[in-house]
Amino acid sequence: MQIEYWQRLAINNRLKRVESPSSGKHLFAQSIEYVAEFLTPGDLYNVAFSTHELLDSLSTSIIVKNALCNGNTHHKISIEHLFEVVSQGSVHTPDKSRLLQLINSRRCEFCTENRINYVRVNFGVCICLRCLQSGRFTESVLTKCASQRSRHIELNDLVVKPSVATHFQSWRVISAPRALGFVNTTTLSKYPTVERHFVWKTQTRDAEGNKIGPVVTKPDLNAMLAMKSMGEVDRFITNNLNAPDINNEWVVDFIDAVQKYRIVAFQNANNLRERKTASTIAFRRKRLKNVHAMIRKLKSEAPESLINLLAYFRNPRYLKFDRYKIWCPHEKYCIQFNNVYVHIYMRQFITSPVSVLNSRLKREEIIAELASLVGYDGPPPM
């Protein structure tokens, strides 16, 4: 079939060049499925929003695969949190553009100040903890213990429904003696307890006017508490609140894509974590080697009266890198000098030993400073 590159306008009978369907952005839109495999989620976001054709040509499976299989744990957590709420129909279903924005969000979309790592669990929005607890967008509610439930529908029945999005905050002990003070697990089982949950305050829309966040809000919960059966509650959510259909094509494609690429995503995240750990350990070994060389150099140039000040011991946990342990401020130093004043002064050079090895002037300054610390009994130098 012959491709037309020119078109005659009906207004002025002039010829106008038109783009061939098989050229330029149309070809790239057709090949985006293969190109997306080599793009980061940020690059895919920039490419997708460059033209309408590219955004329309992106499928849900491509977006999910790109977010899951790049090895970034935060992107994987965002997809998993969205999977939980979308599969339950508790939040308004995001479209492709909204999904790309949620994956690449690095700041709270409400205050735009506080940094976040992933989509908030149970709510399906990028909201920081400060905005979550501020009372502007959420409200705290309490369930009832068994002895106080008196209505047909109680809050306890609603917070366990998959279609009702709530965020568990804490337990609260009621009818307990004041002398207890700290609440432990024994106290929770011995005295009546209730749960405190965050619920979404009002319906929220994004900049384009689309509904985002939970379907059920605090006014809707109050209306449900006056109902007489769970069937009436389900009909209210479906008909009055226009709950999203979890069987529509977009949701089914999203669920299938997440379940399909989970294994690959988990393996890629572990491989990336292992590579980063190995790189960090190799860097720390190189730094430790340079620190030993720096101290040997200082000892060779310093007088014998100062050699005792350079006595040190190696930090045994420095090479045992574990990102999940609580970071101790002293563990970032690979060695510890026996003299505390010397260590406080030398810690600036422990983190950058190469600068001392390459500068004779710096070594002379260090030796002069160590000489002033002989017999020093005052406060540690800053």
Q: What would the pLDDT profile of 187-243 be if each residue is shown by its tens digit? A: 555 667 788 899 999 999 888 888 999 999 999 999 999 999 999 999 999 999 988
Express each pLDDT in 143-174 by its tens digit.
988 888 888 999 999 998 989 999 888 877 77
pLDDT of 21 above 60:
no
What is the rounded average pLDDT of the residues 133-137?
89
Evaluated on CA atoms 326, 332, 334, 340, the torsion sign reads: negative
pLDDT of residue 326: 45
* 379 or 357, greater pLDDT: 357
User: Does 186 or 95 have the greater pLDDT score?
Assistant: 95
- Comparing 377 with 279, the larger pLDDT belongs to 279
Percentage of the chain with pLDDT > 90? 41
pLDDT at 65: 92
Burial class of residue 248, CB neighbours in 10 A (0-12, 13-18, 19+): exposed
Q: Look up residue 312 and give its amino acid.
A: Y
**pLDDT confidence bin for 291, thresholds 50/70/90:** very high
C-alpha–C-alpha distance, residues 17 and 5, integer Å: 6
Query: Per this entry, what is the length of the chain?
Result: 382
The residue among 33, 28, 109, 100 whose CA lies nearest residue 67 is 100
Question: Do residues 185 and 171 touch, judged by C-beta distance below 8 A?
Answer: no
What does the domain layout of the chain look like in residue ranges? Answer: 59-246, 269-372
pLDDT averaged over the chain? Answer: 83
Distance CA(324)–CA(162), nearest Å, equals 32
For 60, 91, 101, 246, 329, the CA distances from 249, given in Å and listed in that order, are 10, 16, 21, 9, 51
C-alpha 241/C-alpha 89 separation (Å) is 12
Q: How far is CA 308 from CA 233, 294, 312, 325, in A?
A: 79, 15, 9, 34
Instruction: Say whether pLDDT at 343 is over 60.
Output: yes
Pair of tokens at residue 290: 């340079």
Whole-number Å distance between alpha carbons of 203 and 125? 13
39 band by pLDDT with thresholds 50, 70 and 90? confident
**Spatial separation of the C-alpha atoms in residues 40 and 68, rounded to whole Å:** 10
- With residue 193 as reference, give the H or E element that holds it: strand 193-200
User: Residue 275 above 70 pLDDT?
Assistant: yes
Higher per-residue confidence, 269 vs 329 = 269
pLDDT for 78:
93
For the purposes of burial, counting CB atoms within 10 Å of the CB of 15, is it exposed (0-12), middle (13-18) or buried (19 or more)? Answer: exposed
For position 377, what pLDDT does the model report?
45
How does pLDDT run across 73-82, given as a tens digit for each residue?
Answer: 899 999 999 9
39-62 burial, b at 16+ Cβ within 10 Å, e below that, comes to bebeebbebbeeeeebbebbbbbb
